């Protein structure tokens, strides 16, 4: 892949540079007795780790899409790596915080101000160089993508393009703002180091006992720790949304279930699960109760359309046909015996309205919304439903092709 070879070279270069600087800053921090330099080195360590995580998840994700060990590939590695990095950084910040407090209680001067000053300035340069790269790249990408968006073929103008383009522009803007914030965060650490060391360089203490100068280092370090943590926590929150299988941010479950309930042919829904695999790929599964297979065929396309508009593109729908043996709303086909109930992802026997976790809403574990009031008409699944196949495949073609004009020939696109 041509796209990656130049990039990997640069990535490795950045990796080596960051690693080298981390070690240099750490050693100088300990030699020169400056806590701010040590915390900046931890900052760099976290950058280093995230670089490594990025490279390795890129390698992993590229190498094996789906294997016998991971049916979804390893796309989530990025989220797990980001969470680990954020937690690692938080733990390191905690120890730095503790040391800074100890320093405030028992102040110590910076021993080798010159060394610290030099290394701090170099570190600042290294941090900013990385960010200058990324800022330049974001600006060029912004212009390139707007150019490309303008060039897109006009025959596929669908109403979704408008909002999507706006989203692109917004995310570009967010991207730039995020990068700038990141630049400031990085630079701030080094700036603090340089300031503290400069003060000691300009006003050397010699052998005098500590005066106000000794308090600058730890106090600025504490401020820096707070800033670092405030950038780590949002990352933790975001990755936990993915890792805890929560409903992704852009999806409104209430709205979605209402739309799905209104699809004609759908008697009820349950076991609806929506989650995000990683990076915008949303997955949903659903059990739908219909009266007849014909109902289901009609409804299937509309259900998928509703999901598609909600931003969920991988949907697995299990149709169930209503029979008088099972109550209307419970799953007709959970696992084969009742004993497995505790191992289902959501228990079949629990009342959807039970308020055991304090959540009072209609939409609980087996999500049930009723479209028609079907107390009476329950079809037995044993009754064979006449149902020509040819019509079926045409219907399928239409349902998959959707409004795309060019996809009438095959069902799989």
State which of positions 372-391 bind another protein (CB under 8 A): 373, 375, 381, 384-385, 387, 389
H or E stretch at 345: none
Q: Which is nearer to another protein, 190 or 199 (CB)?
A: 190
Number of Cα atoms under 13 Å in the Cβ half of residue 26 = 12
The single-letter DSSP state of residue 247 is P
Give the residue from 282, 280, 283, 278 showing the smallest Cα distance to 79: 278
Give min distance, CB of 115 to another protein, in A.
15
Residue of 141, 143, 211, 377 interacting with another protein (CB under 8 A): 141
Fill in the per-residue mask, 179 to 218: x = in contact with another protein (CB under 8 A), - = not in contact. x-xx--x---------------------------------
DSSP SS3 for 137: helix
Select the residue interacting with another protein from 9, 16, 23, 102 (CB under 8 A): 102
Place of tokens 């949002």: 234
Candidates 20, 204, 264, 280; binder of another protein (CB under 8 A) is 280
Does residue 107 bind another protein (CB under 8 A)?
no
Query: Of 411, 410, 405, nearest to 156 (Cα)?
Result: 405
Strand order in the sheet with 281-290: 266-278, 281-290, 314-321
Looking at 69, 206, 208, 212, which residue binds another protein (CB under 8 A)? 69
Which of the stretches 88-96, 118-126, 197-205, 213-221 binds another protein when contact is defined by CB under 8 A? 88-96
Angstrom distance (rounded) from CA 391 to CA 157 = 30
| Residue 161 backbone phi and psi in degrees, to 5 | -65, -40
> Which residues have a Cβ under 8 Å from the Cβ of 158 and sit 6 or more positions away?
403
Q: Which stretch, 115-123, 189-197, 208-216, 269-277, contacts another protein (CB under 8 A)?
A: 269-277
Q: Of the two residues 122 and 329, which places its CB atom closer to another protein in the complex?
A: 329
Provide the minimum distance between the beta carbon of 205 and another protein in the complex, in angstroms, as a whole number: 20
The owner of tokens 């603090």 is: 192
Shortest approach of another protein to residue 165 CB, angstroms? 8
Contact between 82 and another protein (CB under 8 A)?
yes
Tell which one of 125, 129, 139, 156 touches another protein (CB under 8 A).
Answer: 156
Q: Taking the complex as a whole, how short is the minimal distance between the CB of residue 203 and another protein, in angstroms?
A: 26
Residues numbered 285 to 344 that lie near another protein (CB under 8 A) are: 285-287, 293, 300-301, 304, 307-308, 311, 313-319, 327-330, 333-337, 339-344
Candidate residues 9, 20, 23, 94; the one interacting with another protein per rule CB under 8 A: 94
Q: 397-400: list long-range contacts, CB under 8 Å, 24+ apart.
A: 398/301, 399/297, 399/300, 399/301, 399/304
CA distance 370 to 363: 12
Secondary structure of residue 282 in the 3-state scheme = strand
Q: Least distance from C-beta 293 to another protein, angstroms?
A: 5
How far apart CA 396 and CA 348 sit, in angstroms, is 32
Of the candidates 177, 169, 190, 388, the one whose C-alpha atom is nearest the C-alpha of residue 297 is 388
Task: Work out which of 188, 191, 199, 235 binds another protein, going by CB under 8 A.
Answer: 235
Q: How far is the CB of 144 from another protein (least distance, A)?
A: 7
- Contact between 129 and another protein by CB under 8 A: the answer reads no
State how far Cα 96 lies from the chain centre: 28
* Under 8 Å between Cβ of 278 and 75: yes
* Residue 6 binding another protein, by CB under 8 A: no
> For another protein, what does the binding mask look like between residues 25 and 64, x meaning CB under 8 A?
-x---x---------------xx--xx--xx-xx--xx--
Residue with Cβ nearer another protein (108 or 121): 108
Q: With CB under 8 A, what is the number of residues at the site for another protein?
A: 186
Taking the complex as a whole, the smallest distance from the CB of residue 220 to another protein amounts, in Å, to 20
Residue 25's nearest CA partner among 13, 43, 10, 11 is 43
- Of the candidate spans 135-143, 188-196, 207-215, 217-225, the one that interacts with another protein by CB under 8 A turns out to be 135-143
Q: Which residues of 64-73 are buried (b: 16+ CB within 10 A; e: fewer)?
A: eeeeeeeeeb
Q: How many angstroms separate the CA atoms of 36 and 198, rounded?
A: 13
């Amino acid at each position: 892949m041509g796209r990656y070879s130049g990039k990997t070279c640069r990535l490795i270069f950045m990796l080596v540079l960051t690693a080298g600087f981390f070690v240099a800053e750490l050693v100088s921090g300990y030699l020169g007795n400056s806590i701010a330099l040590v915390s900046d080195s931890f900052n760099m360590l976290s950058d280093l780790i995230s670089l490594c995580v990025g490279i390795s998840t890129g390698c992993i994700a590229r190498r094996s899409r789906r294997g016998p060990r991971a049916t979804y590939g390893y796309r989530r590695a990025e989220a797990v790596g980001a969470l680990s990095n954020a937690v690692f950084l938080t733990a390191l910040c905690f120890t730095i915080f503790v040391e800074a407090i100890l320093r405030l209680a028992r102040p110590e001067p910076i021993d080798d101000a010159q060394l610290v000053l030099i290394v701090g300035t170099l570190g600042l340069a290294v941090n900013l160089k990385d960010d200058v790269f990324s800022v330049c790249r974001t600006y060029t990408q912004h212009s390139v993508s707007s150019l490309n968006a303008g060039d897109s073929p006009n025959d596929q103008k669908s109403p979704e393009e408008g909002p999507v383009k706006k989203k692109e522009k917004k995310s570009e803007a967010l991207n730039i703002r995020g990068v700038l914030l990141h630049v400031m965060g990085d630079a701030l650490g080094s700036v603090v180091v340089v300031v503290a060391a400069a003060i000691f360089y300009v006003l050397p203490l010699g052998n005098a006992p500590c005066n106000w100068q000794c308090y600058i280092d730890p106090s600025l370090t504490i401020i820096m720790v707070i800033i670092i943590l405030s950038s780590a926590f949002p990352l933790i929150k975001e990755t936990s949304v993915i890792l805890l299988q929560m409903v992704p941010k852009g999806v409104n479950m209430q709205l979605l279930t209402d739309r799905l309930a209104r699809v004609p042919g759908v008697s009820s829904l349950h076991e609806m699960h929506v989650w995000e695999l990683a990076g915008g790929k949303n997955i949903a599964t659903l059990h739908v109760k219909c009266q007849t297979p014909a109902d289901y065929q009609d409804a299937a396309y509309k259900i998928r359309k509703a999901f598609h508009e909600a931003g969920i593109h991988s949907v697995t729908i299990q149709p169930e046909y209503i029979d008088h043996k099972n109550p209307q709303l419970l799953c007709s086909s959970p696992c084969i015996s009742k004993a497995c109930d505790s191992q289902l992802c959501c228990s079949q026997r629990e009342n959807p309205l039970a308020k055991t976790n304090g959540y009072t809403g209609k939409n609980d574990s087996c999500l049930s919304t009723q479209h028609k009031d079907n107390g009476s008409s329950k079809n037995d699944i044993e009754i064979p439903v006449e149902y020509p196949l040819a019509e079926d495949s045409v219907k399928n073609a239409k349902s998959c092709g959707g409004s795309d004009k060019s996809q009438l020939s095959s069902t799989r696109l």
